[in-house]
Amino acid sequence: MASFTKEMLISDIILRVTKGKPSDDLELEPTQVAFWIDQILPALIKATLDKKLDAKLGIDPDYFKIESCIKPKIKISNCRDCQDNIYIQLECSPINLIRDLGVARVVTEDGVQLDKMSIHEIDNLRNLRFSKPSLTNIKYHRIKNNLYIYGVTEDTMHLVEFNAIYVPSQTIYDLNDDDSVFIGDEILPLLAEELETIARRQLYQSGIDEENNGKQDLNIQ
C-alpha cells in the first residue's frame, strides 16, 4: 500500500504527463488533476477490491476506516402507521463493493456483532418467530452512509453505541495538500496511466513542452 499526500500524488501525476519535464508555463493546474483523480480513483479501487474479494483474498487493512462510540439517532416518521427508524450515520459513504463488503464489521460497544441484511429481507422481520431482532440480536441494512438498525427502539437506543469498520470512498479534491491518500501498489500505475491519457487527450495533441520559456509549447486541441 502506497501512502501519498495529496500534493505528492498530484506532483507525481504531472511529472508522468510531462515525461519528467514540467515547466512553469505548463497549463495543467493541480486542481484539475485532483478533479480527474476523483473521477477515476473510486472505480479503480472498487474493481481491484472486488477482484480480491471474489478470489477470497483479504483487503489491505490500510483501506479501512474505524469509527467508535457512534450513538444511534432516530428519524421520526410523518406517517401515523409507520415505524420510526433508528439508524447510525457514518462519517463517509462506504464504497459499494460486492455483497456490500465495503462495510466489514459493525458491533456494539459490548461486542455484539450486527447481522447485515439486504433491503429485500426487511419485510420478513415481522415473520421471524425465534430470531426477531433484539438488543442481543441486532440487524441492519445500509443506504449510503446510514445504517438502519433493527432490534433497538426509541426506549432502548440510549443503552447502546456502535463501532464500525468500513472502506470509505476516497476523494481528494477537498483535502488539504498534506492530507494522506492511500492507494494500493497495483492501483497507482493504473491511475497514472488513465490520468495521463485524459490529460493528453484534453490538453495536448502531440509533443511535450521542453522549453521553460513562459509559453505553452504544446499543440492544444
Q: Please indicate, yes or no, if residue 161 is contained in any of the structural domains.
A: yes
**Residue 188 has what pLDDT?**
84
Span 150-188, pLDDT tens digits: 999 999 999 999 999 999 998 899 899 999 888 888 888
Asked if residue 94 and residue 8 are part of one domain, the reply reads: no
Asked if residue 134 and residue 78 are part of one domain, the reply reads: yes
Complete DSSP assignment for 15-62:
HHHTTT---TT----HHHHHHHHHHHHHHHHHHHHHHHHHTTPPPPGG
- In DSSP terms, which residues pair with 146 in a beta bridge? 89, 143
Asked if residue 135 and residue 72 are part of one domain, the reply reads: yes
Predicted TM-score of the model (pTM):
0.79
Residue 24 contacts residue 212 (beta carbons within 8 Å)? yes
**Residue 26 has what pLDDT?**
55
Asked if residue 140 and residue 82 are part of one domain, the reply reads: yes
- Crossing angle of the two packed helices 188-203 and 6-17, in degrees rounded to 10: 60
Asked if residue 162 and residue 69 are part of one domain, the reply reads: yes
Q: Please indicate, yes or no, if residue 219 is contained in any of the structural domains.
A: no
Number of domains in the chain: 2
Q: Who's near 204: CB < 8 A, 6+ residues apart?
A: 218, 219, 220, 221
Question: Cα separation of 49 and 58, whole Å?
Answer: 9
Which grid coordinates are listed for 41? Answer: 480513483
Q: Please indicate, yes or no, if residue 126 is contained in any of the structural domains.
A: yes
Asked if residue 147 and residue 74 are part of one domain, the reply reads: yes
Q: Please indicate, yes or no, if residue 211 is contained in any of the structural domains.
A: no
Question: Cα separation of 64 and 145, whole Å?
Answer: 15
| C-alpha separations of 206 from 18, 155, 199 in Å | 11, 67, 11
Cβ neighbours of 212 (radius 10 Å): 13
Domain that holds residue 106: 65-166
**Residue 212 has what pLDDT?**
46
**Residue 202 has what pLDDT?**
72
Q: Please indicate, yes or no, if residue 76 is contained in any of the structural domains.
A: yes
**Residue 83 has what pLDDT?**
60
Asked if residue 69 and residue 162 are part of one domain, the reply reads: yes
Asked if residue 197 and residue 132 are part of one domain, the reply reads: no
Question: Cα separation of 166 and 67, whole Å?
Answer: 9
Asked if residue 7 and residue 76 are part of one domain, the reply reads: no
- Per-position pLDDT tens, the chain of length 221: 677 899 998 888 888 777 766 655 556 788 989 999 999 999 999 999 999 999 999 898 889 999 999 999 998 766 655 566 899 999 999 999 999 999 999 999 999 899 998 877 877 776 666 678 888 889 999 999 999 999 999 999 999 999 999 999 988 998 999 998 888 888 888 888 888 888 777 765 545 444 544 444 444 33
Asked if residue 159 and residue 74 are part of one domain, the reply reads: yes
